[in-house]
Structure 1
Amino acid sequence: MSSGLPFEGLKVLDLSRLLPGGFCSLLLADFGADVIKVEDTGMGDYIRWSPPAFEGAEETAKSALFLSLNRGKRSIRVDLKSAEGRDVLLRLVRDADVVLESFRPGVLDRLGVGYERLREENPRIVYCAITGYGLTGPNVQRSGHDMNYLGLNGVLALGGESADGPPVQAGAQIADLGGGALMGAFGILAALRERDRSGEGQLVDVSMFDGALSWLAMVAARVFAAGEAPRRGSEMLSGSLLCYRPYRCADGWVTLGALEPKFFGAFADGVGRPELKEQQFEGPGTAAHAEVEAIFLTRTRDEWAAFADAHDCCLEPVLEVEEALESELVRAREMVIEFEQPGAGRVKGLGMPVKLSRTPGRVRSGGPALGEHTEEVLGEAGFSAEEIAALVESGAVATAKTAEAGATFLGS
């Protein structure tokens, strides 16, 4: 039956683990792709065992972190270190559109199931590799995490109060999600669109380092054109202007983002200090900055929110995460949704950040148990019941079983 979703009919073999690949394929799954999560015959994706858990759900599908990334997907367990397991993947790829992986470069090549080998089985395959530093260059085999990539590409250096103070890491994973997952999804869709014309797939090389660096487009333009040397504490949007900063108020924090004179003018007039308009672009440490700090301390967050309603000056409270998730704005935008997770009932997750008017994304199922769909997926690929039983007996594939190692990890 047709789902009416944009990626209906798209089959994705997702070999990735943890965050970047999981979020990338989540975007595809929420909009209709059949995402088959290819996990090993041991613990599977490590994030399955990360607390907290939704009570009542099947042991390998109860982690809230796992479900946040893997709803709407199917799970199979394949041992790619065995010849029989590799043959299973080669057979599955013949009917797939996309392969997504996030291993270090060369891992799947050494196993004999890298891009070139998969391409022999299916020339139309779009193969996306999300890595830290890309498939070329001096850091190909270098390990890393989000903060390392941001440290090397200049993003981390811009966050903080002063040039001699510490860099401040963002609360969300910019390189993992922005540089990796989103660029991966874009690259996959670009390659699929081109395949519509040429009939051929291709390799999509996504580097989290590259992707996050591309977010510095306007900063880099100033370096290229004017030879500027941007530094934290002096960047316009990093706290160097009194009109664009977070401020402490009587019971928390608020943000003032009044870059345009009309907005700062509305703020200054609203607080009865029109003379501050002339100091809009002064920096911290000035007398005007101290005066604005003192003004904000005279009201609570709620009072400042009411002030913003009345004066339209780009002023908003700083909400804690749990407050944001309960906010009227989040509810109105349907950014918290519920879906059915077997055993746990209705559980909450974040909604779709992209709203389509005719074919909006939706959650078609909860998160899969480890290996829940092994027999189903292999049967769809043409394996007979006898072949599947033999593969299970040999250990080349596994079905839905609770990994003993997982229970220990979950409680550690």
Structure 2
Amino acid sequence: MRPVRGQSVPQRLQPAEAASPQRPAAPGGVDAEAGDGPATVLDLAERADVLIEGYRPGVAERLGVGPDACLARNPRLVYGRMTGWGQDGPLAPTAGHDIGYIAITGALGMIGPDPEGPPAIPANLLGDYAGGSLYLVIGVLAALQHARAHGEGQVVDAAIVDGTAHLTTMIRGMLAAGSWQDRRGTNLLDGGCPFYGVYATSDGGHMAVGALEERFYAEFVRLLGIGEEAAAARYDLARWPELREAVAKTFLGRTRQEWTDVFDGSDACVAPVLSLDEAPSHPHLAARGTFTEHGGQVQPAPAPRF
């Protein structure tokens, strides 16, 4: 179930659901607020394995289609609840969006290369999708397994704030161990490291560098052509600004495609930064069929593969 009223996002900004290969084969709709809506939902729940709703807390109960009502009709039902703030807590009844959810978890505050500038906004991939829907899927699948083994359904409370906070587990572990600073743009994986970052090329393009391990770094500086001196700078944090300047200056000497050709097939862990339009044509993604065309629109193919 999903809300059908109060939509404020212009249609041109809505996802192209009709052209998505992940869309349901036979989509339909039930207005849960109509006279016979709740009864129809309960009838569907009675023969369903999973029901997912995305209302604010309390709305499904008010409509008569909350977990208690649905599980009374089908004790094996997995009832998934997808919200930003969760089913309880001070913010539970309020509106929100991805950017706010990831902001209060600390995730947004650690993204971006400049400690003095604002955080970088990671589209809505981090909260809505990684911290939200994927955690909902994991919870629903676990609950389905339980229902099949024990004949007992469950309610899955998937909150974007919870999932996003859980995604920061490794970083929080590094922070506790003293190997991470709570200041963005100063760490190994957040742009503070000169051999893990993005550099501009002469044609306005960019190259992504992730040469963390010693042998990958050695390959990187060799192919970049910045000499033996750069090898020692890897271990000297005081020389990282100097190293970053040398790397940046060198990348500006060629185009993105020229650098792509230089690093192609190597273990230097360097890749071109592609746009959404360019990505499907990358030789590796094209060979794997990572993208597919459906209804005249290019879409990511389903993942993972079986």
Normalization by structure 1: what TM-score? 0.68
Selected match of 2:304 from 322, 339, 354: 354
In structure 2, relative to structure 1, the CA distance for the partners of 1:223 and 1:289 (3 Å cut) is closer
Cα distance in 2 for partners of 1:140, 1:295 equals 51
The Cα shift of 1:139 comes to 1.8
The Cα shift of 1:235 comes to 2.1
Deviation string 1:9-36 (CA, Å, 9 cap, x unpaired) is: xxxxxx136xxxxxxxxxxxxxxxxxxx
RMSD over equivalenced CA pairs, Å: 2.5
In structure 2, relative to structure 1, the CA distance for the partners of 1:153 and 1:241 (3 Å cut) is same
Deviation string 1:301-326 (CA, Å, 9 cap, x unpaired) is: 11111111264201111111101122
The Cα shift of 1:190 comes to 0.5
Cα distance in 2 for partners of 1:69, 1:283 equals 50
Structure 1 equivalent of residue 276 of structure 2: 321
Residue 233 (structure 2) pairs with residue 279 (structure 1): yes
Structure 1 equivalent of residue 38 of structure 2: 86
Selected match of 1:309 from 259, 264, 286: 264
The Cα shift of 1:292 comes to 1.3
Cα distance in 1 for partners of 2:193, 2:202 equals 22
Given that 1:219 and 1:230 are in contact with CA atoms closer than 8 Å, whether structure 2 keeps it comes out as no
Letter in 1 for 2:12: P
Deviation string 1:252-305 (CA, Å, 9 cap, x unpaired) is: 110111001111111222215121011125479722221111111111111111
Cα distance in 2 for partners of 1:52, 1:213 equals 28
Residue 247 (structure 2) pairs with residue 292 (structure 1): yes
Residue 187 (structure 2) pairs with residue 262 (structure 1): no
Cα distance in 1 for partners of 2:209, 2:147 equals 46
In structure 2, relative to structure 1, the CA distance for the partners of 1:229 and 1:310 (3 Å cut) is closer
Q: How does 1:12-27 map to 2 (within 5 A)?
A: 15-16=1-2
In structure 2, relative to structure 1, the CA distance for the partners of 1:175 and 1:315 (3 Å cut) is same
Between Structure 1 and Structure 2, how many residues are aligned?
303
Letter in 2 for 1:162: D
Normalization by structure 2: what TM-score? 0.90
Cα distance in 2 for partners of 1:101, 1:211 equals 17
The Cα shift of 1:91 comes to 1.1
Selected match of 1:161 from 91, 109, 113: 113
Given that 2:143 and 2:154 are in contact with CA atoms closer than 8 Å, whether structure 1 keeps it comes out as yes
Cα distance in 2 for partners of 1:69, 1:109 equals 33
The Cα shift of 1:70 comes to 5.7
Structure 2 equivalent of residue 180 of structure 1: 132
Given that 1:241 and 1:284 are in contact with CA atoms closer than 8 Å, whether structure 2 keeps it comes out as no
Cα distance in 1 for partners of 2:23, 2:66 equals 27
Given that 1:68 and 1:349 are in contact with CA atoms closer than 8 Å, whether structure 2 keeps it comes out as yes
Given that 2:77 and 2:147 are in contact with CA atoms closer than 8 Å, whether structure 1 keeps it comes out as no
Selected match of 1:134 from 81, 86, 106: 86
Cα distance in 1 for partners of 2:194, 2:183 equals 17
Larger RCO of the pair (alpha carbons < 8 Å, separation 6+):
1
Q: How does 1:2-401 map to 2 (within 5 A)?
A: 15-16=1-2, 50-51=11-12, 64-68=16-20, 71-226=23-178, 229-251=181-203, 252-270=205-223, 271-280=225-234, 282=237, 286-309=241-264, 311-339=266-294, 346-356=296-306
Given that 1:335 and 1:350 are in contact with CA atoms closer than 8 Å, whether structure 2 keeps it comes out as yes
Letter in 2 for 1:291: A
